[in-house]
A and B are shown apart, each in its own frame.
Chain A
Amino acid sequence: MLNLTVMQTASNKSEMITALREIMSASSILSEPEELAPYECDALSAYRKLPGLVLLPDTVEQVQAILKLCHARKVPVIARGAGTGLSGGALPREDAVILSLAKFNRIIDIDADNHTATVEPGVRNLAISEAVSHLGLHYAPDPSSQIACTIGGNVAENSGGVHCLKYGLTVHNVLGLKFLTIDGEMIETGGQVLDTPGFDLLALMHGSEGLLGIIVEVTVKLLPKPETARVVLAAFDDAEKAGKAVTNIIAAGIVPAGLEMMDHLAIKAAEAYAQAGYPTEAEAILLCELDGTEAGVNEHIATVQQLVTDAGASECRSSTDEAERLRFWAGRKAAFPAVGRLAPDYYCMDGTIPRHRLAEVLAQIGQWSTEYGLPVANVFHAGDGNMHPLILYDANKPGELEKTEEFGGRILELCVEVGGTITGEHGVGMEKLDQMCVQFGAAELQQFFSLKAAFDPEGLLNPGKAVPTLHRCSELGRMHVHGGKLPHPELERF
């Protein structure tokens, strides 16, 4: 169990700074409130907290020394990449240091023969693809923040993107990692090979949200860029028909590179923002991207057009050139900022469901939307069942954030109820701790803690994130009651 009692006082904070100055330059140690302010939140800006200190090391040796120091003094360490995370995984605490990996931005090696790149953790996702583009290669996972987010953060969150259905998540595209444990020990797992002896620590590190180790080097797999890509854009007067189209495509044995759905509100917002040519009267649109060789793509495009028409599409267009393909995507890619113009704030959810439950889940969200008086725009990675309902609200109205959080929590719990999960790709972080109590029982949570302790016995790495304490779960007011039984009958209720 996490059991942190160390709180930094002014005097031991200054002692800490003195010790850190032995390790790194003063300019890499931020301690004044105005310097700390930019680090007070990640992209989930509803939660904010000033950190005790922010450290910006630029060598692995410095990181090792920092970890040894923090370990000795029992100071919590929160790793941070670009701060684009959407679940508060990098949310500071005042008794902790933020360990920024931003200066680790070098591409160490590109191996053109073996199709791998070895990079430091602060290298931006898109920078990898840019660096290998001349070789006809790319790094496949493309989270929407790919211009800014770092590969270290991608590993920590096991980031997805719109091309997951065909190309997988970060875990499917990383071959090797070097990471430091809390005592500064370097662990190397994987490399340029397709497997590694022993336990699959590589898989375990993905999505571990900075709780197990500090990633200092990442080796990724590079894939050949597809010869061509084309998109089918189909409009529907009913979301259920769009869902049927998705089912038809998968049943026909086609694995699209991307398969995205947007609902009426999202379509209208995106069209107003990006002028992508979307039919704004549609209840749902589907974007189906096929990539590969010319011959393969053209054969599949014809099939997909037929399948969406069979499902009842009111309109169906296929991109004929690259400019048109990009225009079809422009609306989807701008969906979040576009929806952001509809209300002062929006709250992005991230549940995954079995696809065949889509219609009922959307209907329930619609009903709650009316009850709460909070509009919802739905953007959906339809191929892999990952939903992003965007709840529109106004944080300046008293009580509206709390209402939004409650609504969001119910959506996530609904995802679990229909056989899905509370987070597809954004992580648990600080945000979804309560829903973790719904997703997992006490035995699993306890197992997570003992697994964590195998890496970090004192619980100093990103404490309080990703896995809720059993105590928290037992105190949680909003618990799901299945068949009259509380999820944790073995726990005392307070």
Chain B
Amino acid sequence: MADIDLTNRLQKAVCAAHASGQPLAITGSGSKHWYGRTSSGKPLDVSGHRGILNYQPTELVLTARAGTPLSAIAEALDEHRQRLGFDPPYFGDGATLGGTIACGLSGPRRPYAGSARDFVLGCRIINGSGEIMRFGGEVMKNVAGFDVARLMAGSLGTLGVLLDVSLKVLPHQLAEHTVRLQANYCEAIAIMNRWAGTPLPITAMAADGQHTYFRICATPDDAQITADKVGGDFFEEGLSFWKDLREHQLPFFDDERPLWRLSVPAATPHPLLSGTADADWFIGWGGAQRWLKSDMPAKTIFQAMRASVGHATMFRGGDRSGEAFAPLSEPLLALHRRLKQAFDPAGILNPGRMYESL
């Protein structure tokens, strides 16, 4: 992979935009262009800014430029039997590290290993005034200064242009099995939460209304014993199942309707919304993430979720000029605006990508 440093060029572009007030739309490979609200700035392509800057397997740390393809990172890690702990979805072959962190998305492993932001150790950014800054570092424990590095995760490029990111990485486990049991959604939620309360080495749980799926990653003996305990059948296609779930390539996701992501306490009963059919749902993250295919008005779903203790995201499809993320309370939104102002006073970085007024 080419090693290219575009820091200066990117900084100049941001400085110019800051001076002229020209909004920028930060783009990587475009693999997640559909996520969040439509943002109409002048494209700032960071995908050329790439290269792994530091990877020392026994430090469990990797630093790479934001435009580095995830696939190149995965390959480098795999050589040392390591991986990204949060199991990020790619949603496209070209997916970059920067886009992955900016979107803050995590895969099936998330409840058991942690989220994208959990693995962020540090980053270098260009803020909206064109200043280059480094936060966090390349060590596991670091409480010097406010945790701006983790704040960047999931901020959709609205606070800064990511230049490079340092992540904690994890070793692969020696053995992996997937088992599945027959269960409807109500049964599945109960079973998944029962196992979540035990110390078994389970790294993913999901349910599709017919079956509940368990991924077990451990030492060989441990994996075997755990699989026996959980019961059900060995699921030969386990490896591709979890990848297809992560990448939304299971048949469930092949649908014209908007795809909603509902984040709820894991044991929340099914279904979350009336007027839906079992076939509209898919349960991931051991119950904590519910996918819903629905044409219901966005407002109805946001409102229904506000009454519960979770929140909804219009993940894919639907009207991207309206709000895609759950509306914030007025004091919270005001705080968001002040934070945005603190990092991007001219409001040029991905304006409107997260919320209309940010």
Interface positions of A (Cβ within 8 A of B): 111-116, 135-137, 157-158, 160, 164-165, 168-169, 171-172, 181, 185-189, 191-201, 203-204, 206-208, 211-212, 223-227, 247, 250-251, 253-255, 292-293, 295-296, 299-300, 352-356, 381, 383-386, 419-428, 432, 436, 439-441, 443-444, 447-448, 450-455, 466-467
Contacts and interface: CB of A to CB of B under 8 A. Distances in A.
Contacts, number: 263
Contacts of A422: 144
A247 B263 CA distance: 38
Given A194-B288, A207-B143, A454-B342, A356 B150 contact: no
Among A137, A212, A251, chain B packs the most CB atoms within 10 A around the CB of A251
Contacts of B135: 444
28 contacts: A112-B197, A114-B265, A114-B267, A116-B265, A160-B141, A168-B114, A171-B150, A187-B332, A191-B309, A191-B310, A194-B110, A197-B326, A199-B339, A296-B221, A296-B222, A354-B61, A381-B141, A384-B139, A425-B143, A427-B143, A428-B143, A436-B145, A440-B144, A447-B148, A447-B342, A450-B343, A453-B338, A467-B145
Contacts of B226: 293
A354 B63 CA distance: 13
Question: What size tier do the contact residues of chain B reach?
Answer: 35 or more
Contacts of B159: 199
Given A193-B288, A447-B343, A454-B341, A251 B142 contact: no
Interface of B: 56-61, 81-82, 104, 110-111, 114-115, 117-118, 127, 131-135, 137-148, 150-151, 153-155, 159, 170-174, 193, 196-201, 218-222, 225-226, 263-267, 285, 288-289, 309-311, 313, 325-326, 328-329, 331-332, 335-336, 338-339, 341-343, 354-355
Given A193-B309, A203-B117, A115 B141 contact: no
A223 B196 CA distance: 9
Among B132, B150, B219, chain A packs the most CB atoms within 10 A around the CB of B219
A356 B143 contact: no
Among B143, B196, B201, B341, chain A packs the most CB atoms within 10 A around the CB of B143
Contacts of B264: 193
A455 B170 CA distance: 35
Nearest first, the 4 closest Cβ-Cβ pairs linking A and B are: A253-B171, A203-B150, A296-B222, A384-B140
B132 A187 contact: no
Nearest to B160: A447
A168 B118 contact: yes
A192 B146 CA distance: 24
B107 to A, nearest CB: 12
Contacts of B220: 299
Given A186-B331, A195-B263, A296 B139 contact: no
A203 B114 CA distance: 13
Given A194-B111, A443-B132, A354 B145 contact: no
Nearest to B122: A421
A137 B117 CA distance: 25
Contacts of B145: 428, 436, 439-440, 444, 448, 466-467
Among A203, A227, A436, chain B packs the most CB atoms within 10 A around the CB of A203
Contacts of A299: 219-222
Given A384-B139, A454-B342, A199 B263 contact: no
Nearest to B287: A114
Contacts of A383: 140
Contacts of A432: 144
Contacts of A206: 147
* Interface SS of A by simple majority: loop
Contacts of B170: 255
Nearest to B267: A113
A247 B221 contact: no
Among A113, A208, A455, A467, chain B packs the most CB atoms within 10 A around the CB of A113
B144 A300 contact: no
Given A111-B267, A419-B138, 16 more contacts: A113-B267, A136-B197, A192-B265, A194-B110, A194-B115, A250-B171, A255-B171, A296-B221, A355-B59, A384-B141, A421-B137, A423-B143, A424-B142, A441-B133, A453-B338, A454-B341
A464 to B, nearest CB: 15
A353 B154 contact: no
B332 A188 contact: yes
A436 B143 CA distance: 11
Contact of B285 (A194, A295, A428): A194
A58 to B, nearest CB: 24
B225 A295 contact: yes
Among B133, B221, B310, chain A packs the most CB atoms within 10 A around the CB of B133
A461 to B, nearest CB: 13
B140 to A, nearest CB: 4
A294 B147 CA distance: 37
B151 A203 contact: yes
B78 to A, nearest CB: 12
Given A194-B110, A255-B170, A451 B146 contact: yes
Among B59, B193, B326, B355, chain A packs the most CB atoms within 10 A around the CB of B59
Contact of A187 (B219, B267, B331): B331
A420 B139 contact: yes
B150 A200 contact: yes
A356 B59 contact: yes
A425 B139 CA distance: 12
A421 B61 CA distance: 15
